[in-house]
Structure 1
Amino acid sequence: MMKRRTLLAYATLAATLGMAAAAPAQAAEPFKVGFVYVGPVGDAGWTYAHEQGRLALEKELGDKVKTTYVENVPEGADAERVIRKLAADGNKLIFTTSFGFMNPTEKVAKAFPNVVFEHATGFKTGKNMGTYETKTYEGAYLLGVVAGKMTKSNVLGMVASFPIPEVIRNINAFTLGAQSVNPAVKTKVIWVSSWYDPAKERQAAETMIAQGADVLTQNTDSPATLQVAQEKGIYAFGWDSDMVKFAPKAHLTAVVNNWGGYYIDTAKAVMAGTWKPTDIHGGIKEGMIKMSPLNAAVKPDAAKAFEEKKALIASGKFTPFQGPIKDQSGAIKVAAGAVMPFKDLMSMNFYVQGVEGSIPK
């Protein structure tokens, strides 16, 4: 009897093991990636461009990843709450995509050492926190080249968001680009203290047009500036994405942030265990900045100058901030033949000659 029970036990165990071996292996859980957006995904600008990057990541890695995003997150205490929840929910890679998210990201990163955090446009890094940014100033310079050739009044306008180095760089680069083909130009700036506020952007655009500006650009996220330009019969540029559909007659070209490649490469590195914290700055050469097609209204000499400068920037033979560069007072900031040091570029706090007004404190 004992022997029979033993044989039955062995037979049952063997059958159980056989069934286990025959069962299909359980699929691995997808790698979870979170995104924090300062604006709505439909803003047509900054957040829209990041959303296109997220979608490119999903397309490339398929069911290997599961992505989540939270939009319209204010830059402050709410940001920390959102970032912390994404980490607590199991996201192993989190992209926080606005300058004002830097300190909240750093704080949460210290609390979740096994999660990788990537912050856009900031300067703080850590063991599990890297930063990344596009060289939008390269694109802004090229917009200026076109604007300098297209203006009739020699007055350009910039709708600006916040007086941080990133935005000041873009204002200066735009002006330097315009001056490279038309030394007589001046740039007016109106600060709207918001990344995305179509009403304020519209009002700023209207004000500068009333002051004589006939080519506008922006460092804000909605197409309102372009729409005003088209209504008034002047020209403007898209920012962060191709905005031509909103104002096809006014839209001369756009600076397009191309985040998809970076998001894909970063996710693959984290998944493979090869990620290390870095401070990435990618521009036209790296494919992180692209320029949308030129409007047929762009004059041939403007198109020629634009393409020549774009090729020089892509080759690494030219940078928008090489001397001579003077500030508003006429003081030399970059000597002839020299290139502005990277640390000065990243902390820029002055206007170049040709920009009117003062930087808000």
Structure 2
Amino acid sequence: MVRVGILGASGYGGGELIRLLKRHPEVRLVGFSSRRHTDKALFEVWPQLVDERMFKPQEEVVAEAEVVILALPNGIAMELVPGLLEAGKWVIDLSGDYRLPPEVYEAWYGLPHKSPALYREAVYGLPELFRGEIPGARLLANPGCYVTAATLALAPLAAGGLLEEASLVGMSGVSGAGREAEETFFAEVNENLKPYRPGGTHRHIPEMELNLARLRAQGRWPRTHGAQKGVRLSFIPHLVPMTRGILVSAFVRLNEDLSELRLEALYREFYQDEPFVFFTRALPQTKGTFASNRVWISLRKDERTGLVQVFSALDNLGKGMASQAVQNLNLMLGFPEGLALDREGVWP
């Protein structure tokens, strides 16, 4: 069994990671840390988990683990990763620190990158596109939640050379903002719906564009540090009064006029061997992916305007974060890819 530790286990993604790893037959969860909850029992922080083990200091977790999963705020992983790799650990980072080239990261996140040279060693962890690079990787950058939904929604079009620009509208449950964010307070979100970070300012935009640019230049199976061919996206996220779930609606004018039937055939062929991508005529809904690792995609063509409409739903704490990290861990270490993961959702 592989020894796994989690740093930052008191956030929503960390809690979901613990739930999944506790049932993983090839994992021994040796420890979990939190800056605020050291020496508290796990069930005190996550009452849904029946576990009296205590949160440990970060140093103890690292010392005992072979694989370290970082569920920490942006800017912290880049300080820890050099030492973790030097100590021979495998690292899965759930923050944005190694998803983007350092100069792009600094421009969009407003933080100086502390270990820019390691970006070239990082593998981008979206298995449905980068599966060939993940086995054996020592540093893996787990994608963002909006990014996973948007990238998989548009990947067949980008890989087929049909996409240059798109407009996207995203809707996210409040857990996507984090456990300590003021905008998640009940009085702020109940009976309310609001956009945020409009005008092309959301920090996930360059990550979406980078993925689609890789696909446009390299085709079906791109490499993290391979060629790119530019894609432009307009993206507006919204906060929805629900706990978890993401729905992305994309609007695309293609380079080639394809019928809806041909587009559906393109998507079915692209994802035919992907166990966690559910492409169907039925329109996706977030309840259909709740607590699962599944992405639900559908499309329509607006014959009047010629625009193609693509819809993608996932659980932001599942495929958008924690369960995708477990999927990546399975691939990194040679376990069956779907081990400890759910294809079916739970009706909340």
TM category (shorter chain) comes to 0.3 to 0.5
Structure in which a larger fraction of residues adopt helix: 1
Q: Give me the TM-score of the superposition, normalised by structure 2.
A: 0.35
Q: Which has the greater radius of gyration?
A: 1
Q: Give me the TM-score of the superposition, normalised by structure 1.
A: 0.34
